[in-house]
A = this chain, B = another copy of it.
């Protein structure tokens, strides 16, 4: 009983310690209302400021966001942010005229420099809303921001299908969705082998399709999934994802190593690219996003790293990377670069904040201010750890132990990075004092070491302890096949960017 009291106290402390930001979620509006929102609600970067336009376009040649910002003359300013934008930090046009409506979020600074390629520039002038050509999204998605689009799968839809329908996939964009004109004839994938002194080769979509096609079923998850839970302890920065920044698809396309060979890498070089000076493979999106993976990921064909041309049996939808997306199974979402225009072997990691900046680096819990640490020494996120979540729970009869202990059936998903696969899922109705083993219902038949996709699970007759507020708490936790366990509390893994929250999943369920 004493333990129970202690637990309640701790629970209360947790609840009062910090409260998450509250704001009206865009998903609370109806889809029709959202759809009818005119794009003119956004201030256009128009002919009013030619300076802005030119300055932005020229940045495609700059190398890093920081450098871009310094050289561009764009400064943090008090320019009002258009409604509906998720950007909390904006940069002011270098013209410094108060009449200039040009604005830009610091977030997609390095990206917007290539708008010309994205078909946003007409007749030498930048017109309208750069997001105006973004595709329509499924009304069921829970939108966190529209420009750029960030949207998660509602928990009740996550495990409706083992393979998530493409239209229901979570979306995590940094930029407007590129518009390609006649890609079948004009798109060329650059393969930059300069580090091997083999120059740059270009491959058309037809040439990529002519290579042996490889199929892989993989789950992908945003590094910030479940950030909202982590932020209950102490505020973090980034989108407050619940559990839905995760989805699974069947991807197909050539193995990346086959693409490299088609571009001139020899069989011998491909065995150990790092020994040839190519320790990293960089993916450059045509939206200007860049990220890289260590080249040892390609050392085995069983690593299943592909350049996907199809998603769930069809050409990849624009929102998910048409025409070419890097699929690096078992690795966090951000390395699975969409709209890949260039693949580059490199001695170094990709440039830019997504690889080298704070955005995808887990700082120690002791660090509240990023200036306290040397970010270069912190490894960028690559393989994901082990996660689980409860998607639904249904009350059953009271347990044999007495009517004070209602039982619940629960279900959900679990996933581990690195192809490690799930060894076990446990569910608790008493905060982890005892556990009911769950049954894996789907996904248990994956190849060892290549378990790229999630499992679905269900647990029956979990005995719960009702709380004073008329709810019970169900807890899930998974163990991967290297016997990595989910940590108990988000507090112990808290980090300022709110990344990698794989703490035990806790779901409050009202009693009937």
Contact = CB atoms under 8 A, between A and B. Distances in A.
A300 interface: yes
Given A272-B301, A301-B272, A437-B366, A448 B296 contact: yes
Interface string A469-502: 0000000000101111111110011000001101
A271 B297 CA distance: 15
A154 B380 CA distance: 36
Contacts of A385: 482-485
A384 B482 contact: yes
Interface stretch (A18-26, A106-114, A173-181, A417-425): A417-425
Contacts of A492: 432, 485, 488
A426 interface: yes
Nearest to A499: B483
A382 B482 contact: yes
Interface string A275-302: 0000100000000000000101101111
A500 B483 contact: yes
Interface string A1-19: 0100010010000000000
A277 to B, nearest CB: 13
Interface string A260-273: 00000000000110
A100 to B, nearest CB: 43
Contact of A379 (B362, B364, B423, B426): B423
A447 B301 contact: no
A87 interface: no
A365 interface: yes
Copies in the complex: 2
A386 interface: yes
A294 B382 contact: no
Contact of A299 (B294, B296, B301, B424): B301
A217 to B, nearest CB: 16
Nearest to A373: B437
A133 to B, nearest CB: 36
Contact of A383 (B296, B303, B420, B437): B420
Nearest to A271: B301
Main secondary structure of the interface of A (DSSP, over half): loop
Contacts of A301: 271-272, 299
Interface in A195-219: none
Most chain B CB atoms below 10 A, which of A296, A435, A499: A296
A259 B279 CA distance: 27
A297 B193 CA distance: 28
Contacts of A250: none
Contacts of A489: 488
A498 to B, nearest CB: 13
A80 interface: no
Interface in A238-264: none
A294 B365 contact: no
Given A302-B299, A420-B383, A488-B492, A437 B294 contact: no
A477 to B, nearest CB: 8
Interface in A363-397: 364-366, 378-379, 381-386
B487 A383 contact: no
B299 A378 contact: no
A436 interface: yes
A6 B8 CA distance: 13
Contacts of A499: 483
A450 interface: yes
Contacts of A502: 483, 485
A209 to B, nearest CB: 23
Most chain B CB atoms below 10 A, which of A385, A386, A486, A492: A492
B447 A364 contact: no
Contacts of A420: 383, 418
A450 B294 CA distance: 11
A382 B382 CA distance: 21
A274 interface: yes
Contacts of A300: 296, 299-300, 302-303
Nearest to A5: B6
A447 B279 CA distance: 9
A185 to B, nearest CB: 35
A434 interface: yes
Given A279-B448, A294-B449, A383 B481 contact: yes
Contacts of A435: 364-366
9 A-B pairs with least C-beta separation: A300-B300, A383-B482, A299-B300, A296-B449, A484-B484, A294-B448, A299-B302, A483-B500, A385-B484
13 contacts: A272-B301, A272-B302, A364-B426, A364-B437, A365-B426, A366-B436, A378-B424, A383-B481, A385-B482, A385-B485, A485-B487, A488-B488, A488-B492
